[in-house]
Structure 1
Amino acid sequence: MKLTYGLLALFLSATTILTAQKKEITLEDIWGGTFRQERMESLRSLNNGKEYVVHNYDRAAGTSSIDVYSYETGKKTRSLLNSAQLQEIKNFSSFEFSENEEKLVLGTEIEPIYRHSTRGIFYVYDLNSKQLQKISEEKIKEPTLSPNGKKVAYVLENNIYVKDLSSGEVEQVTTDGEWNKIINGVTDWVYEEEFSFVRAFQWNKDSNKIAFLRFDETEVPEFSMDVFGQDLYPSKSTFKYPKAGEKNSEVSLHVYDLQKNNIVNVDLGDYQDFYIPRIKWTNDADVLSAQVLNRHQNVLDLFFINAETNNAEVILTEKDEAYVDVTDNLTFLNDNSFIWTSEKDGWNHIYHYDKTGKLKNQVTDGNWEVTNYYGFDPKSKTIFFQSTENGSINRDVFSIKATGKNKRQLTNRVGQNSADFSADYTYFINSFNSATTPYEFSLHRAKDGKLVREILNNKELLAQIDQFDFSPKEFSTLAVNGNDLNMWMIKPSNFDPAKQYPLFVAQYSGPGSQEVGNRFHGTNDYWYQMLAGKGYIVVGIDPRGTGYKGATFKKVTQKELGKYEVEDIIEAARILGKREYIDAENMGIWGWSYGGFMSSNALFKGNDVYKMAIAVAPVTSWRFYDSVYTERYMTTPQENPSGYDENSPINHVEKLKGAYLLVHGTGDDNVHVQNTMRMIEALVQANKQFDWALYPDKNHGIYGGNTRLHLYTLMTNFIEENLEVNPNIKSSL
């Protein structure tokens, strides 16, 4: 188990003379390193449950180390490896243990591909013999040691290979891999982006079989992007990208038997146009599980496949009128019964099934959501999880018996609590933060939550923040269209209720998302504080369709993305505009990605409410976005043309009255710049004036060098030009 913690850094402006005058936040503070984050990289519990390892990097020496620490004391006990001891490599950027912790896979020269995927040069280090072995001379993907540590499997040029670490012999498992046609053992673009995994092969527990997925993307339409770079002529990036309603990869499941040296094709039955979003071996070395999802994503079948007989049996079927969420929560117990999470009672909860798929019991229940499943301790038969039981904007850690009895709350501070458990569930490291408290880390006993020791806090950060002109983030709910929507508000520090202020709305609003949480400042929060310091009231709102308030609230937008949540965002501003201290003639909105889709719609459809909007990397028509995400909520455009067209902002450009800023990166492989180009053309043909900016070769995150500073300067200037802050702020009386 690997977990990276974000640690908020201490302010670096040590040379500033402290005075009674509060400092104003600047964009240079935000994007120039003043709030830079430090991180504890790759914290991982050792199998003994008493120690954990951390990947440390010595900047002065340029070397990497894997150091061991005691949970109980926090003191370093030893180093497992320091790259200074190795002649072949100076340092490594990643590591993975074998199951028995006798070997390590070390990654070097790692280069990113898409959101999750990478390739690099990898080595295996034997902790007993102290020997280092290069896996391949070429850059490979997803090297994974067998459970017994004797072999390593990996993907090279869309084919699977297995290397015997004792003999050095390499066996090529598949031979038909070809770029933009056949992929073995790793996922295609849309699976990686929307099902959030890359490695599509799994070792069984006896290290003698490998299950893998094969993607035939031959008929998937290609998308091509110009890459401008620094050369005289631009190049092109071409990859398979299935847009809504278009041809997907044909996916199939296979099992390779290392002893028999053959591949068996698994027959899953008469499915048409389906996904296999998860495969996982059970605790029986010959029984593989696979989750098969129909294209509409509202029926999910859990298969158990006997790898010896090739018999595939549906153990469990999950159905939903809208869609079924795919998770990583499936956990097999020693008797091959399993833990499963589901929204079938209207809230996300934990269920326990026997090995035949018969329900043993619903473990958790109530009008709240299980937001994270941490695992099962077989010794105490205890399940550990995180939930919203203490409010949808808060998170707490709990334990409960598999029987559903003896539920215990393990955290006691109001805010965001998350946990990283030791391998034997003796301890957990609690990460806590809230709107008023930066990240704090502490060690607790898993059986009762009792504090063992504090690890780190950021009290000095609070002292530094006190030098700046910060305002509190006020949480409330707003009654809109028959629902109480979660909201936060930041007012200017010199707020006077007898005066009026312009309103700036921040939102994302995508299905299952959450903008309004009781958590400490993210980067955008510092920007909102800066805007408040300039005289704006900033609010964050979660409309219908967002998460953590039950399935009915979340799934009401089904087949109508951009209808109900846009109605809520417009009506919320209209309601807020009736407050005496808000200038109803001076309201704006912004968003990124789905949030940009929303802010565009809000400005066009709410042209009597919003005066300006900023849309960064927006979807402008759902016809342009990928199949898996879009069809999950909208079905296909062939089936639901009105849902696609009536709710897409590109079809409402004639309604534009206010100021509109449209921003995109030309190298966005996710939300293609096509969305913005088509929007620009629609606005031009409607003879609508607007502002726009393109960032060459930048992806969906639009970052690198001074890019973010430039972008946020652009947006800040646009807000100041179009949402007036009267220096004498007019009285509302």
Structure 2
Amino acid sequence: MKRNILLLALALGVHTIYAQQKRFSIDEAAIGLYANLAQENLAQLSWVPHETAFVHTVKVLDEDVLIRKHVPSLAVDTLLHLSDIQKLLGSDIRLNTFPEIHWLDKQTMYFEVQNRYFIAHQKATDWEVLPWHTLPENAANIVVDSVNKQLAYTQGNNLFLIDTNGKIQSLTQDANPDIVNGQSVHRQEFGIEKGIFFSPKGNYLAFYRMDQRMVESYPIVNWDNTPASVHGTKYPFAGRPSHEVSLGVYNPKNAKTVFLQTGEPKDHYLTCVTWSPDEKFIYVAILNREQNHLWLNQYDAENGFFIKTLFEEQDPKYVQPLHELHFLPHKDDQFVWWSQRDGFMHLYRYDRTGKQLNQITKGNWVVNEIIGESADKKTLYITGSKESPLEKHVYAVHWETGKMTRLDAKPGVHQAQVNTDGTHILDSWSDGTTPRTIDIYGTQKNWKRNLLTSKNPLSAYLRPKVENITLKADDGTPLFGKLIYPTNFNPSHKYPVIVYLYNGPNVQLLANSFPASGNLWYEYMAQRGYLVFTMDGRGSSNRGLKFEQATFRQLGSVEMEDQMQGVNYLKSLPYVDIDRMGIHGWSFGGFMTTSFMLRKPDIFKVGVAGGPVLDWRLYEVMYTERYMDTPAENPAGYEKANLLSKTALLKGKLLLIHGTSDSTVVWQHSIKFLKEAIKTRTQVDYFVYPGYEHNVRGYDRIHLMQKISDYFDLYLNPYAAQDINEKANAKLSY
């Protein structure tokens, strides 16, 4: 009897274990981390300006409520209910979650719902929400002046301002749509994210003016209309005419604009736009089109006159400015400059004459962000990769002595916010096995509390083993990779393998963050019997200038050599079926995927390339000329990387995927590839996503990932199609 009970208990236990080991559906693999498998979070988490208090939203009786917590007691105030906002909107707009809040000062915040702006003021005992401004339906590039409570925005190609009196001022009246005002320029390279710059006290507004009349127009087809319609986008191809940018300064009091005298040639790049704290000057980094010479210039904001060049930076390959000047608190005559001049992105302190006072940070690691400061302690709070390129940690650094102290305690990737006075930090972090954790602690490391420890949203799923791999490039450089094993792995079996890669500039795939795999689609494929391998080779980010510049003038070659180190490692494993190897990547990764399928056609049996660059002469000026020079200067490099001339070399199965409205890697790349494939009688598979730009986001991403998965199953692992995964899990509903 006891034996039967024990057997029954064991049976039930086994059943429970297997019942808990769910498999990912394709819906979950594609978007689950942003839907039902998202980690717990404290939404709207932010510091109240000039208070030792922070806010976030909570659910109270299924309603979003914005609360404030005071430090160190963590006593709670209720600020706003979602219903307070809903009353102002009426029944025509229904909100499910709290709109994103922005602080103007410690007693005032604002938020936006469908271009209707509302302002919330703190009264004696509660908060009052009032309508603020309603912008035109097509208003874009909206920037708020938190000092004088002005709003600037664009309509079409022109710029408008709602001033302190609520009056709308038209700053530009350019009838030609190819002259664009108030928008980001240079295709958002060089760290440029906006085109409107309010002065520190709100008395002036600087803005970009971009003349694109000389740039060729590229057709984008809208297939939803009958007949289909065409609109043109200005696309500056490498080696061809680029746009010309100037910087205007508008004075709302007299409605006058002056333009900075930034000189010739007009197709140089203007970036790092920074106001001086006293509003008298504007600093602009001028980068030549060759991108190997930078001048940090000072201009008079009143008349636009050039005053002086503070300093210059040069590099035989390229200089890549990415950050505005950071003026130090209570030090209007001192600022921090970001530079890679010693081989790694570090911080340098200057005075306003251009004299370098000291290098603040040093070492073979990268500063990622300046997140706060303390005037009293002469301290900057930063994040960086000092512990490992796979991690990001929080540090305090004295801006005069360079003395650094690490403030966080756990391995992983830390995203941190510092309060105005620099006394406390909100730290949201994770590592490969630890989901999101949010801590608050003092910058003196004398006090700490945990605010959130997220439950593991993946705990009920059958998870693969993830192994970190370190290989070496041919010059001895360490290369970090990751191998995801099939679930229920048996080392005596032979498995198909998928290599996922990007390996291009400004991107890093691998990090010690949750989940360890980095992508649930990898785990989905592991559940279907695949090994998945990914690695950041030379050319990718966060490893310093030498690591990135190794690919200069030869995109696709050094990267391929490094990825071959991964291939050779995989081939050395007894459980890898070298006859069933696949490769997949998007954008630069699509370029790399197609490069492998054509330039090393005996390695991979199957490739899936999404949004691929196939001829660098068809890509834009700013990015391409930085890494390849112009086609006239580097014809051999361009031709070596040109995949349109190599279609006849294809041996395996290749699926190309492209969005028909892609204005980043224009559709012509893959269309021309198909034309060349026809000429060489090369069979290529092809799928387009109508109306999509450079990637497929949202719910339709499920279709994309199913398409990619099915393609690998068809040619690498046909038995995976019989997997019970799709039958065992109902599709998500949204």
Aligned partner of 2:607 among 597, 613, 632? 613
Runs of 5+ unmatched residues, structure 1:
1-16, 110-119, 728-733
Contact 1:569 1:602 in 2 (8 A): no
User: In the superposition, relative to structure 1, how do residues 708 and 403 fare at CA in structure 2: closer, same or farther (>3 Å)?
Assistant: same
Q: Percent identity?
A: 28
- Tell me, in whole angstroms, the C-alpha distance in 1 between the residues paired with 2:484 and 2:299: 54
Alignment TM-score, normalising by the size of structure 2? 0.87
User: In the superposition, relative to structure 1, how do residues 683 and 311 fare at CA in structure 2: closer, same or farther (>3 Å)?
Assistant: same
Alignment TM-score, normalising by the size of structure 1? 0.87
Q: How much has 1:73 moved relative to structure 2?
A: 4.9
Q: How much has 1:381 moved relative to structure 2?
A: 0.8
User: In the superposition, relative to structure 1, how do residues 675 and 78 fare at CA in structure 2: closer, same or farther (>3 Å)?
Assistant: same
Write the letter of the residue equivalent to 1:715. Answer: I
Query: After superposition, where does 1:124-135 map in structure 2 within 5 Å?
Result: 131-135=130-134
Q: How much has 1:398 moved relative to structure 2?
A: 1.0
Runs of 5+ unmatched residues, structure 2:
1-14, 721-734
User: In the superposition, relative to structure 1, how do residues 350 and 510 fare at CA in structure 2: closer, same or farther (>3 Å)?
Assistant: same
Write the letter of the residue equivalent to 1:580. Answer: P
User: In the superposition, relative to structure 1, how do residues 648 and 56 fare at CA in structure 2: closer, same or farther (>3 Å)?
Assistant: farther
Aligned to 1:547, the other structure's residue is in SS state: coil
- The question of 1:603 aligning with 2:597 is answered yes
The answer for the alignment partner of 1:650 in structure 2 is 644
CA shift digits 1:220-250 (9 cap, x unpaired): 1112111122x43323232212121222221
Compare 138-147 and 392-401 and name the one that shifted more.
Answer: 138-147
CA shift digits 1:109-131 (9 cap, x unpaired): 2xxxxxxxxxx444556667864
- Tell me, in whole angstroms, the C-alpha distance in 1 between the residues paired with 2:121 and 2:144: 12
The answer for the alignment partner of 1:326 in structure 2 is 321
Contact 1:71 1:443 in 2 (8 A): no
CA shift digits 1:438-470 (9 cap, x unpaired): 11111111223x552111122343xx52x3221
Aligned partner of 1:426 among 423, 445, 448? 423
CA shift digits 1:680-727 (9 cap, x unpaired): 22222211122221111122221343x222221221121122224889
User: In the superposition, relative to structure 1, how do residues 93 and 503 fare at CA in structure 2: closer, same or farther (>3 Å)?
Assistant: same
The answer for the alignment partner of 2:450 in structure 1 is 454
The answer for the alignment partner of 1:173 in structure 2 is 171
- The question of 1:365 aligning with 2:362 is answered yes
User: In the superposition, relative to structure 1, how do residues 725 and 520 fare at CA in structure 2: closer, same or farther (>3 Å)?
Assistant: farther
Aligned to 2:333, the other structure's residue is in SS state: coil
Write the letter of the residue equivalent to 1:345. Answer: D
CA shift digits 1:3-49 (9 cap, x unpaired): xxxxxxxxxxxxxx843453333313324644245654443322223
Write the letter of the residue equivalent to 1:134. Answer: H
- Tell me, in whole angstroms, the C-alpha distance in 1 between the residues paired with 2:376 and 2:347: 19
- Tell me, in whole angstroms, the C-alpha distance in 1 between the residues paired with 2:681 and 2:60: 58
The answer for the alignment partner of 1:12 in structure 2 is none
The two structures, once aligned, show a CA RMSD in angstroms of 2.8
Query: After superposition, where does 1:569-648 map in structure 2 within 5 Å?
Result: 569-648=563-642
User: In the superposition, relative to structure 1, how do residues 499 and 68 fare at CA in structure 2: closer, same or farther (>3 Å)?
Assistant: same
The answer for the alignment partner of 1:709 in structure 2 is 702
The answer for the alignment partner of 2:194 in structure 1 is 199
The answer for the alignment partner of 2:397 in structure 1 is 400
Aligned partner of 2:562 among 558, 568, 592? 568
The answer for the alignment partner of 2:102 in structure 1 is 96
Q: How much has 1:502 moved relative to structure 2?
A: 2.3
The answer for the alignment partner of 1:350 in structure 2 is 347
The answer for the alignment partner of 2:545 in structure 1 is 551
- The question of 1:380 aligning with 2:382 is answered no
Aligned to 1:459, the other structure's residue is in SS state: coil
Write the letter of the residue equivalent to 1:399. Answer: A
Contact 1:121 1:139 in 2 (8 A): no
The answer for the alignment partner of 2:654 in structure 1 is 660
- Tell me, in whole angstroms, the C-alpha distance in 2 between the residues paired with 1:404 and 1:34: 48
- Tell me, in whole angstroms, the C-alpha distance in 2 between the residues paired with 1:509 and 1:220: 30
Q: How much has 1:425 moved relative to structure 2?
A: 1.5
Contact 2:273 2:324 in 1 (8 A): no
The answer for the alignment partner of 1:731 in structure 2 is none
- Tell me, in whole angstroms, the C-alpha distance in 2 between the residues paired with 1:237 and 1:523: 41
- Tell me, in whole angstroms, the C-alpha distance in 2 between the residues paired with 1:238 and 1:126: 44
Aligned partner of 1:316 among 311, 328, 331? 311
Contact 2:119 2:129 in 1 (8 A): no
Moved segments of 4+, more than 6 Å: 55-61
CA shift digits 1:36-89 (9 cap, x unpaired): 45654443322223123346799977xx87543335455541316831453678
Aligned to 1:371, the other structure's residue is in SS state: strand
Write the letter of the residue equivalent to 2:255. Answer: N
- The question of 1:473 aligning with 2:466 is answered yes
- Tell me, in whole angstroms, the C-alpha distance in 1 between the residues paired with 2:66 and 2:240: 46
Q: How much has 1:678 moved relative to structure 2?
A: 1.3
- Tell me, in whole angstroms, the C-alpha distance in 2 between the residues paired with 1:668 and 1:458: 37
Write the letter of the residue equivalent to 2:182. Answer: G
Aligned to 2:510, the other structure's residue is in SS state: coil
CA shift digits 1:170-211 (9 cap, x unpaired): 2222222542x11122235x534x345453222223332222
User: In the superposition, relative to structure 1, how do residues 174 and 725 fare at CA in structure 2: closer, same or farther (>3 Å)?
Assistant: closer
The answer for the alignment partner of 1:11 in structure 2 is none
Q: How much has 1:358 moved relative to structure 2?
A: 1.0
The answer for the alignment partner of 2:17 in structure 1 is 19
Q: How much has 1:609 moved relative to structure 2?
A: 1.6
User: In the superposition, relative to structure 1, how do residues 76 and 650 fare at CA in structure 2: closer, same or farther (>3 Å)?
Assistant: farther
- Tell me, in whole angstroms, the C-alpha distance in 1 between the residues paired with 2:325 and 2:370: 10
- Tell me, in whole angstroms, the C-alpha distance in 2 between the residues paired with 1:556 and 1:566: 12
- Tell me, in whole angstroms, the C-alpha distance in 1 between the residues paired with 2:532 and 2:101: 43
Contact 2:48 2:54 in 1 (8 A): yes
User: In the superposition, relative to structure 1, how do residues 522 and 302 fare at CA in structure 2: closer, same or farther (>3 Å)?
Assistant: farther
Q: How much has 1:679 moved relative to structure 2?
A: 1.4
